[in-house]
Amino acid sequence: MVYGVVGHKTHAKMVLVVRREEGRLARYVHLGTGNYHPRTARLYTDFDLLTADENVCMDVNEVFQQLTGLGKSSKLRRVWQAPFTLHGKVLEAIEGETRHAKAGRPARITAKMNALLEPQVIEALYRASQAGVKVDLLVRGVCALRPGVPKLSENIRVRSIVGRFLEHTRIFHFANGGEERVFLSSADWMDRNFFRRIELCFPVADAKLARRVVREGLKPYLDDNTQAWEMRPDGTYERRKRGRGKKRSAQAELLAALAGS
């Protein structure tokens, strides 16, 4: 049992497996957005990534060495880590979408998390909205950002899904000028996650898997018309009412997709 860094809760979810295969050592990494817990696994919706990508494996190995030793943190290759690089990298990605929008390139942010409170991230999202970036936020719990405010956040929409399962995935999708980037994370956009916890945010590099994450983990929640609540500019929520169209439940669609995979 390793207790990690003093003063920082280890909230990252990671497993490193090292095997001897054909005379050499091979590494495999499992990274998740939720806990390794049999009870919550039946109640929460989470995404996980199993990979042998050498850069990701080296990053996770570095994090384990950091947690079990006394050395300084080292620069990681693919993974963003709190409390060292995650906050800056998130701001950098949001500001990148702002630059793309101003240059007339594809720019969009879709992010799913449990809570959004960190002031600098909120201010960066406001600036992105003012530059014309379309921002869709799926925030299950508390959200300090106010969407739809004229001349401030007109291009931002905030939704919360309340259903049978606890929405727990953290997914960050950036259009990035046409070269889309998708990340999964253990961290919400809160002060404690950025600055007072050990957290990981990792890329979904495989294009097929990235499209699947967007298709199953984001799009159904943007289209949900049965369990979605949308935030008004004053911070109150309004239940999304189903019109004449087809009934769409994000959680039902996710279960159907998992059953067919």
Q: List, by residue number, the catalytic residues.
A: 11
Distance CA 209, CA 180 (A): 12
Task: List the Cα angle 98/101/103 in 5-degree steps.
Answer: 110
Return the sign of the alpha-carbon dihedral for residues 224, 226, 227, 230: positive
Q: How many CA atoms lie within 13 A of 123 on its CB side?
A: 3
Residues 107/132, Cβ–Cβ less than 8 Å: yes
The one-letter code for the residue type at 119 is P
Return the sign of the alpha-carbon dihedral for residues 59, 119, 133, 253: positive
